[in-house]
Amino acid sequence: MKPTLAALSLAAITAASTLVTGTASAADDPIVIKFSHVVAENTPKGQMALKLQELVEERMGDRVVVEVYPNSQLFGDDKVLEAMQLGDVQLAAPALSKFGRYTKKLALFDLPFLFEDLDAVDRFQQSEDGQELLSSMEKKGLIGLGYLHSGLKQFSSNEPLRVPEDAAGMKFRIMSSEVLEAQFKAVDATPLKKPFSEVFTLLQTRAIDGQESPWSNTYTKKFFEVQPYITESNHGLLDYMVVTSAEFWNGLPDDLRDELKAAIDEAVTYGNQVAREKDLDYRQKIVDSGRTEIITLTPEERAQWLQAMKPVWEEFEDEIGAELIDAAYASNRGN
Ligand code: LMR
């Protein structure tokens, strides 16, 4: 039997009212912010994310909820920015090395031996040049909300690495960065771009010979258990940019955006504190495990790595900008 006109209009009215109710209740629901990252919770980034979740719950819990997805549970860094543009994730803090598809400028932070310590990194990031980089991806729909430290990187490997020649012919996992690719090629090693979630297995099965990470990632992801040598090289930086999508961010009510930004700043300060405090702690835990030999370079040995890798700066000078490189280098104390 065909439905009558009256039955059809009733169905239409019911559907319309369901829609209105749905919209109204959705407006009352708290805004959900999915924060996706790839590291363990007991790392600077893991702690920053949890601190943000706590601050948001305390201060605006009725309006916003932060859901944190660590350990690549939701997205790996190869997908997270696309997911953000599609509205599937609202916050992330990928390594500065992972924005190559969106801007060439951030490759600056990958240049080997650019920063002597985290104080120099802070000075540069807080400078006008550093702050400008936060908006370098706005045309691509991504807004940088701040920088977060992980720390300076060390090499780990199956064989002792004292001088650049020791790395020749070895396979190293790298993040998806052309600068890091050039850095390993400069010492005749083979760089392989692989997701962070695969590094442990690649090392364990000896599909690769080594990797580079700050102490916190090497410890929390247990790389040291399958790498007999770590060279304390402090040759490069692993730092993050906390990012959101322009569409999401600009769509927030002004007062909420301000409150949220304040909470993010506070969580970043906390994460940076964790980065500084935990660095030596994780190094010590690795020493205490007795599973890995930590190689300390003499100043002459370190100078050889610098000499071998420094030509990478020139290779990327046009893309990054010579003035930007000079400004970052000038943030070291001695310059
Ligand atoms: C890596 O891929 O090695 C890092 O970006 C992981 C991280 O987020 O610290």
- Pocket probe for ligand 1: among 38, 71, 198, 216, the residue whose CB has the most ligand atoms within 8 Å is 38
At 34, which amino acid appears?
Answer: K
pLDDT of residue 156: 98
> Closest ligand 1 atom to the C-alpha of 38?
8
* pLDDT tens-place string over residues 184-223: 999 999 999 999 999 999 999 999 999 999 999 999 999 9
Full DSSP string of 202-250: HHHTTSSSEEEE-HHHHHHTTGGGG-SEEEEEEEEEEEEEEEEEHHHHH
φ and ψ of 334, to 5 deg: -75, -5
pLDDT, one tens digit per residue, over 114-150 is 999 999 999 999 999 999 999 999 999 999 999 999 9
- Closest to 309 (Cα-Cα) out of 179, 150, 211, 194: 179
Whether ligand 1 lies within 6 angstroms of the CB of 36 is answered as no
Instruction: Give, using CA atoms, the residue closest to atom 1 of ligand 1.
Output: 196
Q: What is the pTM of this model?
A: 0.91
Distance 313 CA to ligand 1 centre (A): 22
Closest approach atom of ligand 1 to CA 93? 8
Q: How far apart are CA 107 and CA 100, in angstroms?
A: 7
| Non-local CB neighbours of 304 within 8 Å, separated by 6+ positions | 163, 164
Label residue 333 by pLDDT band (50, 70, 90): confident
Give the list of residues 6+ apart from residue 46 with CB closer than 8 angstroms, or none: 37, 39, 40, 70
Q: What is the pLDDT of residues 223-263, one digit of tens each?
A: 999 999 999 999 999 999 999 999 999 999 999 999 999 99
